[in-house]
Amino acid sequence: MLSRWAAGLEPPSDTTTFFNFLDSHDGIGLMGARGILPGEEIARLCERVRAVGGLVSMRTGEGGAAVPYELNVTWWSALNDATPGEEPERQVDRFVAARAIALALKGVPGIYLLSFFGARNDLDAVRRDGQARSINRSALREEWLFDQFADPTSIPSRTASRFIDLLSRRAAEPAFHPAAAQRVLRLDPRLFALARTPVGGGPTVVTIVEVSGSEVALRLRPADAGLAGGHLVDLVSGDEVPVDGGETDLRLGPYQVVWLR
């Protein structure tokens, strides 16, 4: 479904682009999902958010019925709080995989500050302010934040360092220019993949994100994805990816992000 939606994205003009953000200080909007996700999928999202302590803001729809229009939850809690006891590294991987999709899509990425640090639901703020949106508007104390950064095992340290690494690698690649061409690749239902080609030509970058939480073995023909022959490099890990006979074998771990050039 995500691939089908992305394949139909076209900027309204040559002088505009997309602003790709997943969440904001107001929450996770649902109005844009209508017409893309069926009603039962939106209802499942609402159930999940409530299960992890989040809230769902409603509005009056046609006929006076209440319909959900906003999920009040942090992105971290929405993805990870339903699996208590899970290894933190897997949760960080899942979180970064979701964010990496927004970084790879055509347009300009937007990152809400609290999501940069993997913030969790602030239920105390909701009770204090009496507002659902306060759940994702925590005030950050400088001392606490620097203490978290000093601990490489903390969630804020792990998420921020992974973000910074992806952003720095993204900024160095012309293929991620807002107007660079984008083509959705249908490689495997468990993978979300794009080919981005710089404006005016240049090396294509193929971005692949494993979204199912499983290991995926994949045989890729680089030429079919617009990649040049010879050895490839994964910009995320820095590893070389050999190509033999016009094909390469990839094995992605759960929620792994690969950017091939």
pLDDT digits (tens, 9 = 90+) for 29-61: 998 898 899 999 999 999 999 999 999 999 988
- Final residue belonging to a domain, choices 171, 191, 209: 171
Do 204 and 133 fall within a single domain? no
Supply the CATH number for residue 207's domain. Answer: 2.60.40.1180
- Check whether 229 has a pLDDT greater than 80: no
- Contact present, 166 and 258 (Cβ < 8 Å): no
Give the pLDDT of residue 245. Answer: 86
What's the pTM?
0.94
CA distances from 193 to 113, 165, 189, 205 (A): 26, 20, 10, 10
- Percent of all residues in the chain with a pLDDT value above 70, rounded to a whole number: 100
Do 69 and 88 fall within a single domain? yes
DSSP state of 210: E
Give the pLDDT of residue 228. Answer: 80
Do 159 and 237 fall within a single domain? no
In a domain, 2, yes or no: no
Q: What DSSP string describes 8-74?
A: T---SSTT---EEES-BTTBEE-GGGBTTB-HHHHHHHHHHHHHTT-EEEEEE-GGG-EEEEEEES-
In a domain, 4, yes or no: no
pLDDT confidence band for 214 (50 / 70 / 90): very high
Do 153 and 180 fall within a single domain? no
pLDDT confidence band for 1 (50 / 70 / 90): confident
Give the pLDDT of residue 188. Answer: 95
- Final residue belonging to a domain, choices 171, 190, 205: 171
In a domain, 9, yes or no: no
- Final residue belonging to a domain, choices 171, 201, 236: 171
Do 183 and 154 fall within a single domain? no
In a domain, 163, yes or no: yes
- How many Cα neighbours within 13 Å face the side chain of 257? 22
pLDDT digits (tens, 9 = 90+) for 124-144: 999 999 999 999 999 989 999
165: containing domain: 17-171
